[in-house]
Amino acid sequence: MILVFQNTFKLGFNVIKIRGGNLVSKKPSKAFKACLKCKALVAVEVEACPICGSKDFSTEWSGIVIVLDPEKSVVAKLLGIKTPGRYAIKVGA
């Protein structure tokens, strides 16, 4: 299941739309940063990624996928995600 949110400020991002089959964030969030190793989205205050333990992050990211059940999710399998959570689709350095 792919979730598309519009004006959902509780999750820390603005408008997410589907363009050309990809989820694209119109305005990147300052509330989250993305792990450079596993692409998990975490709060900017977090020092180490809770998924992989990396301390390397980027505030340059776009797109978001929320995985609830990685065992049953085709999207999670395609992206190599094994842990439930929020993930960026694309992460810059």
38 annotated ligand binder? yes
Q: Are 5 and 27 in contact (CB under 8 A)?
A: no
90 annotated ligand binder? no
Distance CA 82, CA 71 (A): 7
Collapsing DSSP states into helix, strand and coil, what is residue 30?
coil
52 annotated ligand binder? yes
40 annotated ligand binder? no
Collapsing DSSP states into helix, strand and coil, what is residue 9?
helix
Annotated binding site: 35, 38, 49, 52
Annotated binding site for Zn(2+): 35, 38, 49, 52
